[in-house]
Structure formats: structure tokens, C-alpha cells
Amino acid sequence: MTDGARKDTQREKILMTALQCLSDKGYANTSMRNIANAAGVALSQLNYHFVSKEKLFLAVVDITAEKYLKEFRDYIFAGNGPLESIRRFSQYFRSSLEESPTMIKLLYDFMSIGLWNPIFGEKLNGLFKDIALIIEEAINGYGSKKPGYNAEAIARVLSGAMFGTAIQVVLDPTLKKLPTSIDCLGFLFE
């Protein structure tokens, strides 16, 4: 294995370990030392690859967002027409919430950091714009006959409803049936 390949492998291992640590403990409770220990590398190796906790976690956001956006796009565009895409969007989000609640928590953790850290804020704002653009593209033309109800506005309403519902479920896990309310969004647009 070449030095470059070894560095890439070590970098990937650190990123995956950081993602796991963040998912388990959250940003505030995860240190670079925790990640180094869990990854089985020296702390200096983390600093070599990422320089700071912020840079490491921004890299985690990048890989997580890239994977999420690709998966999301593929799922949404499997629909046949705007209304089917809206239904698929709600199904995807509900299944993500039910199957990966720690990833949703991690997203909210990063959102709270983004309120105070402009670099995180810019990164997450870009993620939300990308989500809205995917929805907008999938439902393009829907609502264009009604003034003010264009695909962009509908995309923002849908993503806002999804993330608003998700935080309610994350904060109160007894709301087991609340994610099914997400499905009603498709019916609102029929």
C-alpha cells in the first residue's frame, strides 16, 4: 500500500469514527482525544489530517450531507410526477426518522452550532438549500397556476414541516405516531 493510500485509509477511518462518536455523544461531548482513542490513532494524526475539531466535524458534515443528498435525490426522483414525489419525500423522511434517529439528532446538533458558528451555519444553510432544490426540481411546475404558490415555496414548506416534525419526535420519543402525520403532507397538495 502506498503512503498516499495509507493516508486516505487512515483519514476515512478517522472520519467514520468521528461520525460514530458524534452520533453517540454529540458535538459538545466529543473531543479529539475521544475520536483518536476510538480510531486507534495518535491525537497528532487527527491534527495532521484535520488541524482542528471544527475542520474534522465540517468534513463529517460534508460526507454525511453528500451521502444523504444522493440517497434523497434517488428516492424522490423515483416518483412519477409532482404529487408522487411529494409522497415519496414524506415517506423518505419518515423512514429516516424511524430508522436513524441518531442521525437526525446529529443534524440538529450541527444546526445549533451553525447558529453561532458562521462556517457551520454556511455549511448547513447550503445543505437545506440543496434539499429544497431537489424537492423543487422534483415538483417543478406544480402550483404554477396559482400566484405565489410555486415549486420553490412548496419545497420550503415541505422541508420546514419535515424538520419541525422531526424535532418534536426527537425531543419526545413517546410521539410514536407523529411521524405518520408527515404522510398527510402529500394529501394536502392533491
Is the model's pLDDT at 144 over the cut of 60?
no
pLDDT at 21: 92
Section 30-47 average pLDDT: 92
* DSSP symbols for 40-102: TS-HHHHHHHHSSHHHHHHHHHHHHHHHHHHHHHHHHTTSSSHHHHHHHHHHHHHHHHHH-HH
Is the model's pLDDT at 40 over the cut of 90?
yes
pLDDT at 80: 82
